[in-house]
Every structure is written in structure tokens, then in C-alpha cells.
Amino acid sequence: MKEQKEPHPFKLSQPVIHRGAWVISGLPSDARKGSHGIIEDGALVVADGLIQAIGKYRNIAKDFGHCRTREHEGKVLAPALINGHCHLELSHLDLAHRIHGQGTYNGDPTKWIRDLLAEREELSKAAVDAEEVMLGRARQTLQQMSAEGVGFVGDVGNSLASRFIGDGQRTRVCFLLELLGLTKEAEAKTFARLENMKAGKLQDIGCTPHAPYSTTPALIQAIKKQADRQDRIFSIHVAESSQEVEFLQTGTGVFREFLAARGAWDGSFTIPGKGSVHYLESLGVIDSKTLCVHGVHVDHAEIEILAKKKAKVCLCPGSNRFLGVGKAPVTEFLAHGILPALGTDSKASNEALSMWREMRLLREDHAGLLPESVFAMATRGGAEAWGIASDMGSLEPGKQALVLAISCKDKMCKAQEIFEYLTTAGEAADAEWLE
């Protein structure tokens, strides 16, 4: 009797070879070999949403000759972009009109915060269901990012409803609930909220303290402990403006006035007398799972601390320009072995939320940066910062096939020209998902 063959319990799809004019692996470049993490006439083998192999097309064709090949003529195949810092829930807040077309807040972050709060207040009065409006615009923004080739967004929000923004969307969203409080009363309220969340169904929600100037040291430490327990990254806005550093060093300046005017100052906060990173280091919250967002006003010793602790940094050039707070010392970060992530920050502090534009702005701000380093920030840097580098951020066997097919411009025939184009094209970049 002939043996009956049982059907395979999982139907595996046939691997497909994707061949591109160029394939960017996104792995650290080996300048000596001239590889720059880019393969001319390269190919990827993809099956069941995972990368099986990557290499020169002629080698891949030898090993996977039986598989169907999809040609992506004149295209660069590259890892999906990673937005290392965003507040999707602020997508409905456009503050550009409040600075009357000047394009910058001239370095006064407290003026920006005042405008942000006023805009929020006005919209919540005007809209019948403000939350619905907020979520709708946030989802639209996320879809737009997805259409531009963003595979992951590290998202921060004050509303618990924002944790659902990424549901059912192609782009993966990791949401962190932002907490703050600098007075004794506000600190007690936030601790009570944390306890309630822990006791209820919200115990798995990740949290983030807003910034060193808005959150008490005890809260910052408690949120870091919780992040460690949950095995999550610990993200915090750090050294965004010189006024932040002035406040932490001396207890004076526009932040002190702003806190007092808002009733958020009761004198209980002990002025640390040091810069943002020195201060966080003294609280014991800087390690390899700490993500310092902005990192504009850090001194040499602070960069050394971040490097030594293998802490992560996320740069937001578009937001920094909008607020006029200065430029982060990118070259120094790179020289210390820190590959920063790149983030758009929110629509409230940026004219557009495009990772292609962020790369272009960073290049404009730092003429000496290598284009391939900037592209690595927008991909691998973000993945490392959010602890997802085993899944995405580069193209390697075993990783998710989150791959973009980007149209080349005519006559690009050198690896450097490809990276030059990708990091200066801005919103003009034409990227499609491979699958």
C-alpha cells in the first residue's frame, strides 16, 4: 500500500530573488575594502517575510537558481528607515503659523512650550471630540511615514489613547507614555499614577520621563527601574537647549521663570549644579539601554560618559532648527564610536515629518559628515537605539525583509554617489516597499 503523505503543517512560500542595481546591507562599512556596506548588482533572497541571503547577484543566482527573480532595474534596495523619536499624538498641532513664517523660535524653548499648550487648549475647546481628531491625524501621519519607507517609529505621548496609533499599520510603533512633575505635589501624583498602572491592566506600558528639568530625580530613577524590569529602552529628552543646561547648572534663566509662572516650582527641586548628562549620570540612569534624545548641549566629558556607558543618542535636526536651539556635536559623537539615531520629533516642533528631510538637514548642518554615516543613522542607528537591531535596521539573513526599492537618479555609478543622493534627496526620494 502506498504511503499517504501528510500535508506540511505550514505552507512555506517560495523564496524570491530581488535583484537591484545596488543593494545596501546597512552593515558597518569597511572603508579599507571600499565596501561602504553597498553591493553593486546585488540581490536579496526573501521568503516568508525574512531575508534568506544577500550578496552579488551572480553568487545568489548560483545558489538560488531555482527561485523566481524579480528585477528592480535602476533601483537601490535598502533597509527601511527608522524614526528614532516622534510624538505622533502632536500631529494635529502645527505651530509654524505662530512664528509668522520665520521658521524658528530663535532658541527660546519656553516660548515654544507656551505656544504648544495654547494651541492644544484652543483645539480641545474647538473640537467636539479632541481625542478622535488627535488620533485621526496621528494615524494619517503614520501612514505618510509608512509610504515614505519608515519601518519603525519610536513614539512618545502623554495620552494613553496614543498607544493604539500603530495598531493595524504597516509601520511598527513602540509607544512610551511620557511622565513628568517637578513639585512635590506633581511628583506624588505621578507616582500614584505609576502605582495604579502597575496594579491594573496597564503594567506593561513603557514610560519615559520628559526631561531632567521637568521631572524629579526620584521619578526619573523609578521610571528607569521600571524600564529595566520591562526590558525596555529608557528614553529621555536630554540637553536640548542651552536654557535647560543653565537651569540645571544655576537654577536660573527662562526655564526657572517659566516653571514659576506655571505653578510648577515649589523650591523642592535641588539644583544639580551640573549639565544634563552629568546630572543623569549622577542619578545612575545612563547605560546601554538609555536613549538621550537631542543631545545638543553636551560637553566633551559628557560625550565621553555616553560613549563609555554605550548609551544611545537620537538627533532631531529638523526640530532643533525649528526651535533654534543649535546643532548637536555629531562629528564628536561619531568620533567616540556613537552612531546616533535620527528622529523627526513632532509636527509641533518641525515643519515636516520626513526622515529623508532629516538626513538632508543633517547634511546641510554638518558639511563634513560622510553620507554613508548619515544613512546608517537613519537605519542601523535607530534600530540599535530601540533594541531592535536583531530584527531590522540592516539587511542580513534572518532579519525581517523590511526593504525599500528606491529609484536611482541617472548616471549614478559609484557607491558614494548613491549615498550622496539618498541623504540629500529629501522629500523627493522615491521609495517603495519591496513586498
Cα–Cα distance for residue pair 112/107, rounded to 1 Å? 9
> Which residue number, 25 or 344, has a Cβ lying nearer to Zn ion?
344
Residue (51 or 173) nearer to Zn ion, CB: 173
Q: In angstroms, what is the minimal distance from the CB of 179 to Zn ion?
A: 14
Nearer to Zn ion among residue 246 and residue 345 (C-beta): 345
Give the whole-angstrom CA distance, residue 258 versus residue 247: 11
Residue 77 contacts residue 434 (beta carbons within 8 Å): yes
- In the complex, least distance from residue 87 CB atom to Zn ion, rounded to whole angstroms: 6
Site for Zn ion in 194-213 (CB under 5 A): none
Q: How far is the CB of 327 from Zn ion (least distance, A)?
A: 17
Helix (H, G, I), strand (E, B), or coil: what is residue 370?
Answer: coil
Parallel/antiparallel/unpaired status of strands 206-209 and 172-179 = parallel
Between the alpha carbon of residue 114 and those of residues 137, 183, 184, the distances in Å are 22, 19, 22
Within 8 A by CB and 6+ apart from 118, the residues are: none
For Zn ion, give the closer residue by CB, 345 or 384.
345
Closest contact distance (angstroms) between CB of 156 and Zn ion is 6
- What is the per-residue binding string for Zn ion in 343-382, x denoting contact by CB under 5 A? --x-------------------------------------
Contact assessment for residue 75 and residue 409, using Cβ atoms and an 8 Å cutoff: no
DSSP letter string over 23-40?
A: EE--SPP-TTTT-TTEEE
Q: For residue 406, give the amino acid letter.
A: I
3-state secondary structure of 292: strand
Q: Which residue has the cell 519603525?
A: 152
Q: Which of 291, 215, 211 is nearest to 244 (CA)?
A: 211
Task: For Zn ion, give the closer residue by CB, 160 or 413.
Answer: 160
Of 89 and 345, CB closest to Zn ion: 345
At its nearest, how many Å lie between Zn ion and the CB of residue 291?
11
The CB-of-98 to Zn ion minimum distance in angstroms stands at 18
Rg, the chain, Cα only: 23
- Closest distance to Zn ion from the beta carbon of 237 (Å): 6
Question: How many C-beta atoms lie closer than 10 Å to residue 203's C-beta?
Answer: 12
Cell 493604539 found at? 164
Residue with Cβ nearer Zn ion (281 or 345): 345
User: Judged by CB under 5 A, how many residues of this single chain contact Zn ion?
Assistant: 1
Q: How far apart are CA 291 and CA 386, in angstroms?
A: 8
Site for Zn ion in 290-349 (CB under 5 A): 345
**Residue 401, SS3?**
coil
- Residue (345 or 372) nearer to Zn ion, CB: 345
Hey, which residues between 12 and 51 contact Zn ion (CB under 5 A)?
none
**CB-nearer residue toward Zn ion: 148 or 345:** 345
- Which 8-state DSSP code applies to residue 414? S
Closest approach of Cβ 217 to Zn ion, in Å?
20
**Taking CB positions, which residue lies at the least distance from Zn ion?**
345
Shortest CB 420 distance to Zn ion, Å? 29
Residues that bind Zn ion (CB under 5 A): 345
